[in-house]
Amino acid sequence: MNISIKNHIMNNFKGASKEDIEKAITSSFNDKDEVTLPGLGVFFGIVWSKSSSDEKDKILNILKDSF
């Protein structure tokens, strides 16, 4: 059986409200549970793929300045 984590996560959030998505993101940081990392990776991948060059540059600066 070949299960796509990305597809599974995307299906779980189909029809989700902004509040549902925010709650999932916030709880993943508050709970410090590494099980949520794949989901955050999928979220980040979506953001990255939909971002303009300027937005990507801003994201990269935020990340660079955070280390």
pLDDT of residue 31: 83
Q: Map residue 23 onto helix, strand or coil.
A: helix
Answer yes or no: is pLDDT of 20 > 90: yes
Rounded to 5 degrees, φ, ψ at 14 are -60, 130
Assign 1 a pLDDT band (cuts: 50, 70, 90): low
Write out pLDDT tens, residues 28-65. Answer: 888 877 888 889 999 999 999 999 999 999 999 999 99
Domain limits, the chain: 5-9+18-65
Locate tokens 């189909």: which residue? 14
In sequence order, what are the residues at sequence separation of 6 or more whose Cβ sits closer than 8 angstroms to the Cβ of residue 52? none
pTM: 0.82
pLDDT of residue 32: 78
